[in-house]
Chain A
Amino acid sequence: MSVVISGVSVLIPGADSAKALAAGPEPGAGPVEPAALVGRKGLRYKDRATQLGYCLTSAALADAGLLGEDGTVSGGDVGVVVSSNYGNLDTVVRALDTLREGTVSATSPMDLPNASSNVIASSAAIRYGLRGPNLMVCNGATSGLDAVNWATTMITAGRVDRVLVVGVEPDNDVVRRLLGGRHAVDGGAAVVLEDAGAARARGVRVRAVLGRYVRAAGVGTVLERLAASGAPAPAWWHLPDTAPEVIGADLLPGVERTALPEHSGRASGALGVLQCATAVGLFDEYGEGPVFAVCGTDADDASAGLVLLEPPAPEAL
């Protein structure tokens, strides 16, 4: 049994598709404008991460051919897994400031759902009719790849045939203070994961096939375990979020390295999903894999690695 990617969306400043992301986001681009993408209706009272999540959800479901004419999903449950570390930090501190500078009566009841970190995942489910398992992963640097793996795990376990995975991080003053002045990516990516048989049954185009996932202490250990699992040698290596020189030249020598550029800011929980979208863009452009995606450096609590394989020829699937 295998799990495939059957839809993808990308929205960060300077890149609005997997192809543009793989080519490298343009510097100096303006912010993503949710109202221009999904309309103003329903955006009021939603934090920026949730708004960005709506845009990514809508585009990925449409790309996978799952969005009906009424703008929601019908026919079979779709699960949701969202990865974000900074999602609702702005709501939390704003409510806190209001409380400390006045009393509880000054707070807005509309903030209550946004104070719960899973609001991105549940809001996407409500807006687009996604009734499968609904999971919010806030797991630090590896969060995006972890989210992809939990979606794969739930599909493999037979809980659901299709899962939307979103990785998104908003940029704001709270996040910048937490990052010591650096900005966050203020966007993200989404992929639709699907049981290969279910994808074949509805005739959707496969964009990538998921291989082994590993989480362990240190980038070197993760690469060793991926190699030991029998994964084919990679054509590309998508690096974790750090200065490129930090990753030793002795690791995967000769393999073409790719990374999100410094000007895109900290991708954090969005990175792993952006890496999957990059892999789709690379397969679309060059038709050649595999891509090794790695999140989390030796300075983090752990690293995660995921193998993404190019889609097989249609008759082989």
Chain B
Amino acid sequence: MLSRPIIGMGAVASTGRGVGTLFENLCRGVTGHAELRGFDRTRFRAQHAYEVDDRPVAGEDVPARATALLVDAIAQAAADAGLGEDLSGIPVLIGTGLRELRSLELWWREGTDLDDTGLHFGTALRERFNADVTHTFSNACSASLYALALGSDLLAEEGDHAPDTVIVAGVDVLTESMYGLLERVHPTPPDRVRPFDRDRTGVLMGDGAAAVVLRRETGGGRTHALLRSVAVNCDAFHVTAPSPEGIAKAMRTAYDMAGVKPKDIDLVMLHGTGTLLNDEAEATAMADALGDAASGPLMTAIKSMTGHTSGASGLMGLVMGVTALAEGRVPPTVGLERPVEEAAEFRFVTGGAASASMNVAQLNAFGFGGINAVAIVEAAP
């Protein structure tokens, strides 16, 4: 049975930088919700997002912010794992929804520099870490958990070329086009992200990056948690609307691969985007996959504080979920007051952080096109 030690972690989001700081802030219910920092607000009906406040001059956007967040998260995770700064030969897998498309937008409209080697992250990671086995996957909002699945497949390979260590990361920042088009499909402009609440108005984007270092074998050094499985599939149903059947299938496959039963799940880090369709589809699938155990695990949706960090969000959930297992605390879902009917049985963490002794966590991430990814992690022995 698959059991890969997670030996390094890093994260940055609107709510904080560094895994410990971010986790403490989320447990206190701190959100990154703020007025749009880098776009001309007069173009939009929605006015808010969850951005990392890192622009050199307030209100003026700059290229390569996604790259900067990614480099930060990877450097944190590599240092945590004791890998040093030279990552040549180590596979680095990056899941992203929007790669450097914000740099494309600024190049197109403001004339900042870009060529076709600047759309993916390999060029910058080669410069910064001497990394040469880099892979950018643009897999919408399940990208970083899809990357995690591929990372675990690499560690299962046999032979002299098989790696001992793999880095998996996720990153995204707002793009003007995606922010606008997402707003366009909401009947009323979303004001904040309230996952699973009956009165939610929709999704708003957030900036963020997360990274983990995985090892083939246990032994030596600290282990944060064990990766037990990552299941991936595709609904093949609709370009934006999710399918509860496809999602539930991914969950069951993840349980089977990890050798766990629904009653073994102690914590679920929900995808929970606050989108009208998605939350109900996720709740329906979750209830279906858990069956009699639907009231068992604690559940939370951190997008209520980080916003929707798109391709980064799955791994963000994993890094926070692993920390929750280790700390015995779960951050709340801020703004969740009256859950949707489909989620009536769930034990949501609301108000403040919850304390619990937990061993197994489930991480959900679903993306446009019906691409689903579900991971299972177990607390370190």
Contacts and interface: CB of A to CB of B under 8 A. Distances in A.
Interface of A: 77, 80, 85-86, 89, 91-93, 95-97, 99-100, 103-105, 107-109, 111-113, 115-119, 121-123, 125-126, 128-141, 143, 146, 150, 153-154, 156-157, 159, 174, 178-180, 212, 214-217, 229, 266, 268, 300-302
Contacts of B157: 153, 156-157
Contact of A118 (B107, B156, B371): B371
Contacts of A146: 135
A107 B184 CA distance: 7
B234 A131 contact: yes
B185 A112 contact: yes
Given A116-B369, A118-B367, A301-B117, A217 B185 contact: no
A49 B140 CA distance: 17
Given A103-B43, A178-B114, A118 B136 contact: no
18 contacts: A92-B177, A93-B105, A95-B180, A96-B108, A96-B176, A112-B182, A117-B99, A126-B238, A129-B236, A135-B139, A135-B146, A137-B135, A138-B120, A153-B150, A153-B157, A159-B232, A217-B132, A300-B123
B180 A107 contact: yes
Contact of B368 (A109, A113, A133, A179): A113
Contacts of B43: 99-100, 103-104
Chain B at the A interface: SS class: mixed
Contacts of A215: 132-133
Contacts of A113: 239-240, 368-369
Contact of A301 (B104, B134, B140, B161): B134
B345 to A, nearest CB: 28
B115 interface: yes
Nearest to A266: B116
Nearest to B235: A131
A113 B109 CA distance: 22
A146 B134 CA distance: 10
Given A113-B240, A217-B88, A229-B161, A122 B150 contact: no
A216 B185 CA distance: 43
A89 B108 CA distance: 10
Contact of A111 (B122, B137, B181): B181
Contacts of B97: 116-117
A302 B126 contact: yes
A108 B185 CA distance: 9
Contacts of B246: 131
Interface in B353-376: 367-371
Interface of B: 40, 42-45, 88-89, 97-99, 101, 104-105, 107-109, 114-117, 119-120, 122-123, 125-126, 132-140, 146, 149-150, 153-154, 156-157, 161, 175-178, 180-185, 232-240, 246, 367-371
A141 B136 CA distance: 12
Given A113-B240, A119-B239, A103 B120 contact: no
A216 B132 contact: yes
Given A109-B184, A126-B239, A118 B368 contact: yes
B259 to A, nearest CB: 15
A99 B40 CA distance: 10
Given A92-B105, A141-B117, 6 more contacts: A93-B108, A112-B184, A130-B236, A146-B135, A153-B157, A217-B132
Contact of B181 (A109, A130, A157, A159): A109
Contacts of B175: 92, 115
B116 A268 contact: yes
B369 A217 contact: no
A121 B367 CA distance: 12
A151 B233 CA distance: 14
Given A92-B177, A178-B115, A217-B132, A125 B137 contact: no
A115 B185 CA distance: 13
A117 B117 contact: no
B194 to A, nearest CB: 21
A125 B238 CA distance: 9
A136 B108 contact: no
Contacts of A107: 180-181, 184
Nearest to B125: A301
B123 to A, nearest CB: 4
A157 B140 CA distance: 23
Contacts of A141: 117
A99 B117 contact: no
Contacts of A111: 181
Interface centre among B104, B133, B137, B238 (most CB of A within 10 A): B137
A268 B239 CA distance: 25
A117 B369 contact: no
A212 B157 CA distance: 13
B369 A138 contact: no
Contacts of B105: 92-93, 96
A116 B133 CA distance: 25
B181 A86 contact: no
A141 B119 CA distance: 11
Contacts of B104: 89, 92-93, 178
Nearest to A175: B116
B202 to A, nearest CB: 13
Nearest to B238: A126
Nearest to A94: B177
A133 B149 contact: yes
A266 B371 CA distance: 30
B66 to A, nearest CB: 13
Contacts of A109: 181, 184-185
A99 B139 CA distance: 25
Contacts of B367: 116, 118
3 smallest beta-carbon distances between A and B, as pairs: A122-B369, A134-B234, A113-B239
B369 A115 contact: no
A264 B367 CA distance: 34
Given A99-B177, A112-B240, A138 B137 contact: yes
Contacts of B107: 178
A266 B116 CA distance: 11
